[in-house]
Structure 1
Amino acid sequence: MCCTDMALAYVEAHASWSAANTRPSLGRDYAAFLTRGPDGSARAAFAVEDVRCASCMSTIERGLAGLPGVTAARLNFSDRRLAVTWRPDAEPDVPAVLSALDALGFRAQLFDPGSRPDAETAETKRLITALAVAGFASMNVMLLAISVWAGTVSDMTPENRDLFHWIQALIALPAAAYAGRPFYEGAFRGLRAGRVTMDFPITLGIVLTLVMSVVESLSGATHAYFDGAVMLLFFLLIGRVLEQSMRRRTRMLAENLAALRSEGATVVDADGSLRDVPTSDLVPGLRILIRPGERIPADGVVERGMSDLDHSLVTGETAAIAVRGGDTVFAGALNGNGALTVRVAAASGSSLLDAVEALMRRALEARSRTLVLADRATRLYVPLVHAAAALTLAGWLAAGAGWHAAILSAVAVLIVTCPCALGLAIPAVQVVSAGSLFRDGVLLNDGTALERFAAIDTVVFDKTGTLTLPEPSLTDGDHPPGILALAARLALSSRHPMAAALAKAAGGAEPVPDAQEAAGLGVRALVDGVELRLGSARFCGAEAEAAAALAENPAASVICFRAGDAAPVVFPVHQALRPEAAQVVEALLAADRRVLILSGDRAPAVEAVAARLGIAEWEAGLTPLEKIARIEALQRAGRRVLMVGDGLNDAPALAAAHASLSPVTAAHVSQAAADALFLGRSLTPVLSVLDAGARARRLMLQNLWFSAAYNLLAVPLAAAGWLTPLIAALAMSGSSVIVTLNALRARVATGARPAPVAIAGRRAPPSAFPLLPGRP
């Protein structure tokens, strides 16, 4: 029976005993962390520590699958968040899950979004402190070691040499005891659960090297190896700190969605009185008051009032939507300039925001199961290292050598094969590539995404705020200068996004005095006895003119102006394409990548942008679930999809795609789901990440192949006794330096300028994606 099977058997026996004898009842503290699905199933989230590789993920999921009532246990490797689901008829047993995780060697606690930043900060501080201690010790111990090396070939007396050895021990032993704690604790927890983790060979090599050094110092030997042990810790901690720093900087989805949620709501009672309640207390049937500038806390139906709602984060619709009695509104939408009374239709936990979060969580859990290069390399590493050291020890003993020589050779094998180069091979490239991308205006959220960027063959764009700029612009046309200036001054008194586009034409002019907003309609002012109006077509009596303008430019929205009895003037407003968007799309198509648009916006607006960019495959009016379905269909067909989007409705698709990219102006939840964010107005960072990903993967593979070749060469030499632990430590350090220098080649500028397209006839045919036929 293997160690993993033994651990699983122990967990199942422990869980059965717990259920039969000491199963605690579910208390209020645990119930507060549970959510219920539509079928009555319970779900709880746990923050799990010490998850280092894909084998940890499979061990946890298999270990929890046998617990009573548990139907699913899925670990998100990216953020170490475990989701456990129980059957509807089963009592959720949170203590049993925590006990099982402890038996498997993983510390865990119920997930609390508020405590997550503090825990991550504390872990980062701990690693940096350990790195500083190891660095200080390695510099001082190496200085003493160099003195011993120089004295060995000169006139140093044995007494002075032994003194230097003991001074090294005085520095190295406490430093190694403190700085190595992250590895020792991980190895101990794994052994306690019957597992051998990557921390075990590290711990074994360090401990044996220190013990051997103390023994050599006691016997007055020429060499001790304290310098090799502390240098080993220093290099390994560099890799661990790099790994921690490349974790997603954006917090958990719940924290990012909080930016769109209202913490409280104002309930209108039957007698007309108002009271404030937490959003979690809202149930269907309650009437709530939404004041101007507030976000809607729950899905519902408008009973009274008129206003303009910004649904762009929810649906992707570019224009603000006028709502009145009977219209449906969604949680997260931003109320404009009118007060609304809304009857709640969905309780807390069942709104559109909650549905988006659930979609996104499932997509992230699925994507986190993809093994990256480091995972695939380390799955074979531990058994090979142990086998090589054990065979070396057994071989020397069988050849008649003493225990001293046999152990010295085995320790040399452990040191020379220490995963220092392997531990730096991937993170070093990630960090250098992240710096290179930063110079091109790209902020990398997830270092592992570089490998996924390298495999992209299909790029899916959202339209609103992605292919187009997030802010609307006034459409060029023959606008009477005097009328335009006056309308722009009036627009300065409005908070409406389309009014903001018109207000830019005012320059430094003052707003029209005494202007007043009409809820949900527009803004009005009286100037020299003439009433000025700016707003909707109905507000300005310009329905016919607005219809004509939209017929001429169906992708635009309109804002109307009227001065007294004069003929109304219609100003078309549109969202301009991002700079160099056409060149980026052209370069992608020239590189044999498929390009599509999946948008929640109106079909005329999407069609116009697709035509201007030469994109044959597009679809409009999609919900978040439909976007995920389209992306999954592409991926089932063998495509590797890069999703580029910015709205709340794009967040699940960003998580479901093979890799994802968002502008820095995106919704908070989209920033959390994206692998990278890009700054500025240009779309050229799309080319930057694809180029950087291809180069990074190439360098990672080179580093891994070098690490493998180094071990194939060094292990036989160490096993044959030709490498002392000191030389093995130097060889190990040298290999780390080489992979780091190779990683620095990723600093080459990505050159994100779209190259001129000189290749003809390479565009994807309109029928290449049957789910997305080009609109006529």
Structure 2
Amino acid sequence: MSCCAAGTESAAELEALKTEGPSTEEMWLSSRSLGNGKRQLDLIVPGVHCGACIALLEKELPKVSGVDHARVNLSTRRVAVVFDENAGDDGYPEAVLSALGDRFKALGYPAHLPGGAEEGVDPVFRDLLKALAVAGFASMNVMLLSVSVWSGAEAATRDLFHWISALIAAPALAYSGRIFFSSAWGALRHGRANMDVPISLGVILAYAISLHETITHGEHAYFDASVTLLFFLLAGRTLDHMMREKARSAVRNLVRLSPRGAMVIQPDGSRDYMALDEIEAGMRLAVAPGDRIPVDGRVVSGRSDMDFAVVNGESAPQMVEPGSLTPAGTLNLTGALVLEATRDAKSSFLAEMVSMMEAAESGRAGYRRIADRASAIYAPVVHILALGTFIGWMMVTGDWRMAMMTAVAVLIITCPCALGLAVPVVQVVAAGRLFENGIMVKDGSAMERLAETDRVVFDKTGTLTRGQPRLINSATVAPNHLAIAARIARASRHPLSQALAAHEAGNGFMPELDIVEAPGDGVEAISSDGDVYRLGRAAFALDGHDDGLDQMDAASQVILSKNGRFLDVFLFSDQLRRGAAQAIARLKALGIEAEILSGDRELPVKALATDLGVSDYVAGVRPRGKVDRVKALSAAGGRPLMVGDGLNDAPALSAAHVSMAPASAADVGRMAADFVFLHDSLEAVPLAIEVSRKAGKLIRQNFALAVIYNCIAVPAAVLGHATPLVAALAMSSSSVIVVLNSLRLRRKTRIEQFARNEPGVSAVATVADPGLGAPV
């Protein structure tokens, strides 16, 4: 995006720029761990205005020793810096953080930590409106005086009107133009040029030429052009700021779902109110009816109805009881609860959602890179073009006034607002549209890749099915075998494990077990007397011998063995996820093929594929096999979308061209996915593809509009067919056209009510995965 379409600093942010910035200790405490020895620090950088700013920061910041990489989000003006947490003594990289702060200042982009400038009344919008009002008032009055001059006023009257116009325009330019002048001066002071430099030059030169004409009793002055030019520039900037606020509002609304703190129950039973950032995993929290859950937790005592709309989009309350999980941001409705915090605020479900929303525009997708490269070379090209225009007109006409006004028009009309807005506005609107339908986007590049997908590869349990299986043969299995299996299953989060664990009879049987989980296969438990129990797929439990069990039943099954010998088999049924059949049908209508990859046996996978109308399916696939399949599709020129939810789906999600996971997925699966859908319905998949395709189409249209504008406007200005006022009108009009074209993406489609109005699928499909290690 170009600087001419960017926002300006708020009063609070400008005050922050005057300080020394955050200390190294504050930056360290505000950073969060990413694992593998890396940490991420998010900073607000108000001076980021355009593609050139992004390119500069992302190129220069990694040059600081210990910094891995930096990513700039233009909409929120945040810079995410990833650095090595072990780059200093005692795991505190003070030198890295200090050098990082110094580098920001040296580049002319002072940074501060996220805070008060992002909350409350929007000071940026208020300042823009004031500046716009002043420029509008001045332009109307100067225009009235200009009409009299154009009507043939006599010399003395003409000079009087010119002087009055100069007196009206001067304070208006000083007040309203400061938004551009301060940005341009800051750039020049640090030895660089941004897009506000030529704009400032154009406005100042137009006024200076007019003042010279007035002093020398010239016939023509252009005060009306200078103030009206400023008015239209501010109108375009205000419009862009409003679009940015639409992107930020979703993030702020999510942040507001988190309370400031919570009542913590101390070990001695006393209760103390603690701020949100002081709450740690393991603390016990008292949550009263009407309060929102501050951090992810597990119910220790109490029963209540909970509003889980932030998680699954469903408005109907759900009952929670001891053992139930309560994600941050959900609302306690009816009863008092005692929770045990399972995560701190920085790593909670709500923080994860906020992080994904903030990253929605940060991806360096192909379209965005094109716009950024064009923006980065804008300033030098425009200055050279304007200088060449001035020299050319001087050589042809010898009239320096005419040459100067033509050069000013070139400075203004070449401002690539339309090109700068072409990509991010569409991405902001698309991300907001998906968010309204419960689909979180990690970055804009993911939408571009999703628009290219030609095949969807579905996982089964927890994806095509609800992942909430029930044991259907508990009456026929041996009670002691069920007790053993239930005890072992407690160690796994796989849906079949959870279904078995619910049948645990007590804690006295087999008190000591050494349990090891094998994702995609099952769980192995060694008892204190040395017996080895295995629970999972037949080949795993029986040391590679399935004894014909795979052909026994179309239901999903789990085998229990002892020292490699068969003990019992457990059968499960599962429900189709809501909207699964409709999603498959919609994908076919979009020309996209679907296939199923499952670790389950042939019979249940075939039954599911037949019910859904999917002709391509593969059963008995190990986690490595899923990765190999999506890589093979990519190697053949395909662009597969992987949809999965489990721990062992994470490698395939990362390997696919683009990926998607439900909010109920394992943490690793959600982090590996490019999209996360919060609603229960699988129609999120075709909806996301439709929106992404429309977004790509609109981006290409915006590029075409920007190119057409420049092909017409630039030659017209160079040839002297556009005054500065006409140039301002043309530049602002191109921005408005691009924004209006982008807003077409907000038109609803017929499937956008998938998560709200469509009844759930009632038919029970006896299909699920056999492996207990993780959802397959």
Smaller-chain TM-score range?
Answer: 0.5 to 0.7
- Give the match for residue 168 of structure 1: 165
Shift in CA distance, 456/146, structure 1 to aligned 2, threshold 3 Å: farther
3-state SS of 2:591 partner = coil
Matches within 5 A, 1:433-582: 455=452, 457=454, 577-578=578-579, 582=581
Match for residue 689 of structure 1 among 685, 688, 691: 691
- Give the match for residue 128 of structure 2: 127
Greater shift after overlay, 192-201 or 96-105? 96-105
Matches within 5 A, 1:113-262: 115-118=117-120, 121-149=122-150, 151=151, 155-247=152-244, 248-250=247-249, 252=251, 256=255, 259=258
- Give the match for residue 109 of structure 1: 112
Which deviations, in whole Å up to 9, do the C-alpha atoms of 1:307-335 show, x marking residues without a partner?
Answer: 899998999999989866xxx97875989
Shift, 1:717, TM fit: 0.7
Shift in CA distance, 172/688, structure 1 to aligned 2, threshold 3 Å: farther
Match for residue 363 of structure 2 among 338, 363, 367: 367
Shift in CA distance, 68/717, structure 1 to aligned 2, threshold 3 Å: same
Distance between the aligned counterparts of 1:221 and 1:384, measured in 2? 33
Shift, 1:454, TM fit: 5.2
- Give the match for residue 9 of structure 2: none
Distance between the aligned counterparts of 2:587 and 2:673, measured in 1? 21
Does the CA contact (< 8 Å) of 2:165 and 2:223 recur in 1? yes
Does the CA contact (< 8 Å) of 1:104 and 1:190 recur in 2? no
Distance between the aligned counterparts of 1:428 and 1:277, measured in 2? 40
Greater shift after overlay, 423-432 or 45-54? 423-432
Amino acid at match of 2:104: L
Distance between the aligned counterparts of 1:24 and 1:698, measured in 2? 40
Matches within 5 A, 1:571-650: 577-578=578-579, 582-595=581-594, 612-614=611-613, 629-635=651-657, 641=658, 643=660, 645=662
3-state SS of 1:246 partner = helix
- Give the match for residue 525 of structure 2: none
Shift, 1:140, TM fit: 3.8
Amino acid at match of 1:259: S
- Give the match for residue 83 of structure 1: 81
Q: How many residues are matched?
A: 605
Shift, 1:109, TM fit: 0.6
3-state SS of 2:719 partner = helix
Shift, 1:661, TM fit: 7.7
Which deviations, in whole Å up to 9, do the C-alpha atoms of 1:623-658 show, x marking residues without a partner?
Answer: 6776664333122xxxxx47475558689859952x
Which deviations, in whole Å up to 9, do the C-alpha atoms of 1:194-247 show, x marking residues without a partner?
Answer: 221122121121111121222223233333223333333333333323332223
Which deviations, in whole Å up to 9, do the C-alpha atoms of 1:705-729 show, x marking residues without a partner?
Answer: 21221245224413xxx65545655
Does the CA contact (< 8 Å) of 1:187 and 1:199 recur in 2? yes
Distance between the aligned counterparts of 2:660 and 2:148, measured in 1? 58
3-state SS of 2:187 partner = helix
Shift in CA distance, 747/42, structure 1 to aligned 2, threshold 3 Å: closer
- Give the match for residue 14 of structure 2: none
3-state SS of 2:41 partner = strand
Amino acid at match of 1:177: A
Shift, 1:598, TM fit: 10
Distance between the aligned counterparts of 2:271 and 2:726, measured in 1? 78
Distance between the aligned counterparts of 1:408 and 1:469, measured in 2? 68
Amino acid at match of 1:412: A
Shift, 1:700, TM fit: 0.7
Shift, 1:367, TM fit: 2.5
Which deviations, in whole Å up to 9, do the C-alpha atoms of 1:478-497 show, x marking residues without a partner?
Answer: xxxxxxxxxxxxxxxxxxxx
> TM-score, with normalisation over the residues of structure 2?
0.60
Distance between the aligned counterparts of 1:604 and 1:235, measured in 2? 67
> TM-score, with normalisation over the residues of structure 1?
0.60
- Give the match for residue 288 of structure 1: 284
Distance between the aligned counterparts of 2:53 and 2:358, measured in 1? 19
Shift in CA distance, 127/73, structure 1 to aligned 2, threshold 3 Å: same
Match for residue 714 of structure 1 among 713, 716, 726: 716
Greater shift after overlay, 451-460 or 381-390? 451-460
Shift in CA distance, 351/175, structure 1 to aligned 2, threshold 3 Å: closer
Does the CA contact (< 8 Å) of 2:206 and 2:222 recur in 1? yes
Shift in CA distance, 427/83, structure 1 to aligned 2, threshold 3 Å: closer
Matches within 5 A, 1:416-435: 416-419=413-416, 422=419
Distance between the aligned counterparts of 2:263 and 2:598, measured in 1? 31
Shift in CA distance, 84/687, structure 1 to aligned 2, threshold 3 Å: closer
Distance between the aligned counterparts of 2:249 and 2:599, measured in 1? 25
Which deviations, in whole Å up to 9, do the C-alpha atoms of 1:520-540 show, x marking residues without a partner?
Answer: xxxxxxxxxxxxxxxx9999x
% same residue: 33
Distance between the aligned counterparts of 1:84 and 1:121, measured in 2? 29
Amino acid at match of 1:128: L
Shift, 1:384, TM fit: 1.9
Amino acid at match of 2:705: N
3-state SS of 2:122 partner = helix
Shift, 1:350, TM fit: 8.7
Amino acid at match of 1:201: P
| Uncovered stretches (5+) of structure 2, i.e. residues with no partner | 1-19, 469-501, 506-551, 557-572, 624-642, 754-774
Shift, 1:406, TM fit: 3.9
Amino acid at match of 2:699: R
Does the CA contact (< 8 Å) of 2:265 and 2:285 recur in 1? yes
- Give the match for residue 480 of structure 1: none
Distance between the aligned counterparts of 1:62 and 1:648, measured in 2? 35
Amino acid at match of 2:258: A
Shift, 1:192, TM fit: 1.7
Which deviations, in whole Å up to 9, do the C-alpha atoms of 1:455-500 show, x marking residues without a partner?
Answer: 5546688999998999x9xxxxxxxxxxxxxxxxxxxxxxxxxxxx
Greater shift after overlay, 727-736 or 172-181? 727-736
Shift in CA distance, 655/736, structure 1 to aligned 2, threshold 3 Å: same
- Give the match for residue 408 of structure 2: 411
3-state SS of 2:112 partner = strand
Shift in CA distance, 732/169, structure 1 to aligned 2, threshold 3 Å: farther
Shift in CA distance, 165/574, structure 1 to aligned 2, threshold 3 Å: farther
Does the CA contact (< 8 Å) of 1:265 and 1:276 recur in 2? yes
- Give the match for residue 101 of structure 2: 98
3-state SS of 1:88 partner = coil
Shift, 1:703, TM fit: 1.0
Distance between the aligned counterparts of 2:503 and 2:167, measured in 1? 83
Amino acid at match of 2:215: L
Shift in CA distance, 340/161, structure 1 to aligned 2, threshold 3 Å: closer
Which deviations, in whole Å up to 9, do the C-alpha atoms of 1:576-611 show, x marking residues without a partner?
Answer: 734xx645532322333355789999x999999876
Distance between the aligned counterparts of 2:190 and 2:459, measured in 1? 47
3-state SS of 1:110 partner = coil
Does the CA contact (< 8 Å) of 2:37 and 2:86 recur in 1? yes
3-state SS of 1:175 partner = helix
Distance between the aligned counterparts of 2:186 and 2:729, measured in 1? 30
RMSD of aligned alpha carbons:
6.1
- Give the match for residue 489 of structure 1: none
Shift in CA distance, 655/694, structure 1 to aligned 2, threshold 3 Å: same
| Uncovered stretches (5+) of structure 1, i.e. residues with no partner | 1-22, 473-535, 540-550, 556-571, 636-640, 667-677, 755-774
